[in-house]
Amino acid sequence: MDKIYYELLEQAKEASKKAYAKYSNFFVGACALFESGEKFCGCNIENASYGLTICAERVAISNAIANGEKSAIKAIAIYSPNQKLCFPCGACRQWLSEFATNDDIKIILEDENDIKVQTLKELFPCGFKLND
C-alpha cells in the first residue's frame, strides 16, 4: 500500500486529538492531500446548537482553501479513535466532490488491522453538480 496513505492517516490521527467534541465525545480528524503536494488537516468542531457542528473533513478543506490552496484534492484520510472505518457523512462527500477534479480521489480509513482505500466514485455516485 502507498506509504503516503499511512502518513495521511497518521496526521488525521494527530488532528483528531484537537477535536472540539464536548457534546458527542466522538473525536474525528482528517488530513487532505492536494495535487500541489500540500496537506491540510482538520478536526470536528461541535456547537451547543447541535446542527451547527462541522465535520473534520470540511474543516480540513476549509483550512486548505483559507490558506490559498488552489489545486484539487487527491486523497483524504479520516480517523476516529471511537470507531474504525469512520466513513465521511453525506455532506462531506458532497464537499469532497466540489474540490476533486474527478471522482477517483482516494478516501483512506483505518480498518481492523490495516487501512482501507476507497474512491469517491464508490462512496458517492451521481453526486450533485451544477451545469457548466
- Which residue lies nearer to ligand THU by CB, 9 or 21? 21
Which range of residues in 3-11, 18-26, 106-114, 117-125 is near ligand THU by CB under 6 A?
18-26
Interface with ligand THU in residues 31-70 (CB under 6 A) = 44, 46, 53, 55-57
| Residue number, 30 or 33, with CB nearest to ligand THU | 30
Residue 20: Cβ within 10 Å count: 14
How far CA 23 is from CA of 19, 53, 84, 88, in Å, comes to 11, 10, 20, 19
Q: Which of residues 85-104 bind ligand THU (CB under 6 A)?
A: 88-89, 92
Query: Nearer Cβ to ligand THU, position 39 or 58?
Result: 58
Q: Pick from 8, 9, 15, 28 the residue near ligand THU by CB under 6 A.
A: 28
H runs (alpha helix) in the chain? 3-16, 56-66, 90-98, 120-123
- The candidate with the shortest Cα–Cα distance to 86, out of 33, 37, 19, is 19
Residues that bind ligand THU (CB under 6 A): 21, 24, 26, 28, 44, 46, 53, 55-57, 88-89, 92
